[in-house]
Amino acid sequence: MHLILLLSVVAIASLGLASSQDRLDCEYSCGNVSITYPFGSREGCYYSPDFLITCDQSSAGEPIPFFKDNSSNVVITNMNTSKGEMEIQMFVASDCYNSSGRAKRLTASLSLMDFRISTKNRFIAIGWDTQAFIAGALGNDIITTGCTSICDDTTHITNGSCSGVGCCEIAVPKGMSTFAMSIGSSNNHTKILEFNPCSYAFLVEEGKYDFSSHDLLDFQSDQKMRMVLDWAIGNDTCDTVNKEADNFLCKSNSTCDQNYTGPGYRCRCLDGYKGNPYTKVGCKNIDECEDKNHGCTHKCIDKEGYYECKCRKGYSGDGKIGGSGCRANRSLLTIIAICTSAAAIFLLVSVTWLYFGIKKHRLIILREKFFKQNGGIMLQQRISGDGGSHDQAKVFTIEELKKATNNYDESRIIGKGGYGTVYKGVLSDNRIVAIKKSKLPEQSESQIEQFINEVVILSQINHRNVVKLIGCCLETEVPLLVYEFIPNGTLSDHIHNESKSLAITWDIRLRIATETAEALSYLHSAASVPIIHRDIKPMNILLDDNYVAKVADFGASRLIPMDQIELATIVQGTLGYLDPEYMHTSQLTDKSDVYSFGVVLTELFTGREALSFARPEEERNLAMYFLSSLKEGRLFQILDEHLQLNEVPSEIVQVSRLAERCLKVRGDERPTMKEVAMELERILASVIHKHLWVQGTSNEEEAEYLLREPNEEYEYTNGANTSSSTFDSMSKQTILPIASGR
């Protein structure tokens, strides 16, 4: 017996298989979970320490496999080598209150190395008064998303649906390697302590949790939720990994999976093989002929990695069902066609000409299809019907914009984000423009007329503090939008960049706030069809070389019919700037912009970001922290140190009180943008007056700079037959930072 075992080991070693991938002393299961390489439960059996699986043999019943996180043991319930997936049990985060306040809080987090959070999971929160967030690492960036669940009773709850009433859920961003869940409450559960005063949040594989109203009353927080992790080998992709290195795992009968986009790489068995592609002998030949449905009409012959079909004697062909099959042999007359060189060249030229001609024709047809699909004919009719005004939107061709951007060269990129990419372009008349290529799904037919209406109206807006829409290109699947170019970056860059923030003094910041308020007041009140921006934030306020504010990015804007004061919409915006009343009711009004502008005002004199999970919990939400600081008389302590103030000027106190009014929870208690603009104009005028009297004539240039006319004349030229129907040119965009329900 010992001799047989010794000979077996020698034979394996002679074949070069005595590596960690094929050791005989490795454990290949723990309980009912299979452990396959690159995973292993002891030293020498796994690829790297990140793939170490510990088998708890001491547990009652079946042994339990787990791997170690930074702070806990993560139980594994299933592993799939061919798909690169692992199913684990994940903890539930909870936040409980009693009549005295928070009573108990449990957090849930996970820190991974070679594993990623699969997009098959959903982030779910349940509770009567719950705000749940998940923050995670995506490469070198930290991203945050979340959802809100609010419920007064169980009357409107739908079992099995996480729509935001009692339960909310969102998709998980792709590629997160580390995450932490946090939960909060707007009212500390004070209104619903008689029910379940707790909120819960967890990650779970889609389809593995069904919400029930019973969970609001008696949810077991100690239960574990099944979630899925993706895994891969190392950090190199298939294109960058050294395939000749000894530690490259895709050996014989396997290959690097090009369909996996990393980070890291995965192996898969070649066609005709199956098994574990991470071991030297893991991928074994599939005997297709054992399957009765092999597809051969007569005889199936298995080969290494493939199979062949043979016809019976006297027949020929590929022998496959669905192919040429097997047919009787016939005596064939050998016919040799001798073609001249000229004929061959003529045929080649004819085929080439035909190929490129058909390709060009198809391209023209495709452009015409996109042009019509995006409402090009309708836009041309609108421009023609309005007399072809100089201020009307221009319809550019795809060639014009390719030439303007040097065929969208990467050196022309001036901005990139979730909505798309912005390029700097130079038109044929030497105008410098910004060209936006959006990442949007295909428009539905019902949105085409609305998109065209908004393009026509926005192109006619001629306000010194609104970025002008010059035109669009409709010959691509998603329309390209062309805007005037603003050279000095965003307000956010200047507030939060230490080297730039010193240059924008309080006087300049006050003027920027005033100009922004005037632009929003114009959009709300002076435009023929009122426009609600819906995403006011420093990132969407551009500055020119003279620090003149330009409101930009109307991708989420909505136009409100004249006979309506509010509009039901899907909640969109940026976390930290969203109107809480809008989040709760989904009713969009012009007061939603007022709230967002109030947050911008607060950023201007504090220099802090609207939302930051790097700050202490009570300071994370700037609006709430500002209101509490103002109430407690701590305004000076939160002012931006780059303003270099020894005391709080009266105008900052006035602006802070205005911001306080803008940040009222109830929209009807907030001022209108027109009232806000008038108040800021008054404050700015007092600052200018103070400069003129205090500084005298020695600083006339600075006074003149501040005296730039905030109410400079502007035009609003509305074309004939402009529809007042509600529309949204970028309605296909979806804002991810927060969602009301699913």
Is 562 found in the same domain as 434? no
- Is 241 contained in some domain? no
Query: Under a CB-based contact definition with an 8 Å cutoff, are residues 171 and 203 in contact?
Result: no
Other C-beta atoms lying within 10 Å of the C-beta of residue 463: 21
Joined together, the tokens standing for residue 85 give 């997936």
Structural domain containing residue 39: 13-80
Here the CATH number for the domain that contains residue 318 is 2.10.25
Give all strands (DSSP E) within 505-565, no chain letters: 531-532, 541-543, 549-551, 558-559
Q: What pLDDT, on a 0 to 100 scale, did the predictor assign at position 689?
A: 79
> Which of 80, 105, 120 is the last residue before a domain boundary?
80
- From 535, 553, 579, 593, the catalytic residue: 535
Environment class of 16 (CB within 10 Å of its CB; exposed 0-12, middle 13-18, buried 19+): exposed
Q: Which of the 8 DSSP states describes residue 657?
A: H
Q: What pLDDT, on a 0 to 100 scale, did the predictor assign at position 169?
A: 93
- Is 275 contained in some domain? no
For the chain, how many structural domains are there in total? 5
Q: What pLDDT, on a 0 to 100 scale, did the predictor assign at position 385?
A: 53
Instruction: Identify any residues that bridge with 550 across adjacent strands, giving them in sequence order.
Output: 542
Is 170 found in the same domain as 148? yes
- Is 353 contained in some domain? no
Is 575 found in the same domain as 469? no
| Better-predicted residue by pLDDT, 451 or 437 | 437
Here the CATH number for the domain that contains residue 461 is 3.30.200.20
> Which of 485, 515, 548 is the last residue before a domain boundary?
485
Is 481 found in the same domain as 495? no
pLDDT per residue over 275-314, tens digit each? 899 988 889 998 988 887 788 888 898 888 888 888 887 7
Here the CATH number for the domain that contains residue 533 is 1.10.510.10
Is 129 found in the same domain as 221? yes
Joined together, the tokens standing for residue 726 give 């509600």
Query: In angstroms, rounded to a whole number, what is the distance separating the alpha carbons of residues 71 and 181?
Result: 15
Q: Out of 97-101, 287-291, 567-571, which region has the weakest mean confidence (pLDDT)?
A: 567-571
- Cβ within 8 Å of residue 346, ≥6 positions away: none
- Is 310 contained in some domain? yes
- Is 602 contained in some domain? yes
Q: What pLDDT, on a 0 to 100 scale, did the predictor assign at position 377?
A: 63
- Is 741 contained in some domain? no
Is 597 found in the same domain as 557? yes
Residue 625, CA distances (Å) to 101, 110, 577 in order: 19, 29, 14
Is 469 found in the same domain as 530? no
For tokens 């970001």, name the residue.
609
Q: What pLDDT, on a 0 to 100 scale, did the predictor assign at position 449?
A: 58
Is 321 found in the same domain as 395? no
For residue 625, name the pLDDT band (cuts at 50, 70, 90).
very high
- Is 416 contained in some domain? yes
Q: At what angle do helices 650-662 and 673-695 cross, to 10 degrees?
A: 170
Is 481 found in the same domain as 434? yes
Query: Under a CB-based contact definition with an 8 Å cutoff, are residues 36 and 276 in contact?
Result: yes
Query: In angstroms, rounded to a whole number, what is the distance separating the alpha carbons of residues 393 and 161?
Result: 44
Query: In angstroms, rounded to a whole number, what is the distance separating the alpha carbons of residues 47 and 247?
Result: 9
Is residue 535 part of the annotated active site? The answer reads yes
Joined together, the tokens standing for residue 552 give 């930009």
Q: Is the dihedral of CA 634, 637, 640, 644 positive or negative?
A: positive
Strands 558-559 and 267-269: unpaired
> Which of 434, 468, 485 is the last residue before a domain boundary?
485
Mean pLDDT score, 493-519: 91
Whole-number average pLDDT of the chain? 78
Query: In angstroms, rounded to a whole number, what is the distance separating the alpha carbons of residues 655 and 195?
Result: 42
Q: What pLDDT, on a 0 to 100 scale, did the predictor assign at position 18?
A: 38
Query: Under a CB-based contact definition with an 8 Å cutoff, are residues 541 and 600 in contact?
Result: yes
pLDDT per residue over 137-186, tens digit each? 887 888 999 999 888 777 778 888 888 888 999 999 888 888 899 888 87
Is 436 found in the same domain as 378? yes
- Is 53 contained in some domain? yes
Is 411 found in the same domain as 388? yes
Mean pLDDT score, 609-637: 90
- Indicate whether this model's pTM tops 0.75: no
Is 436 found in the same domain as 387? yes
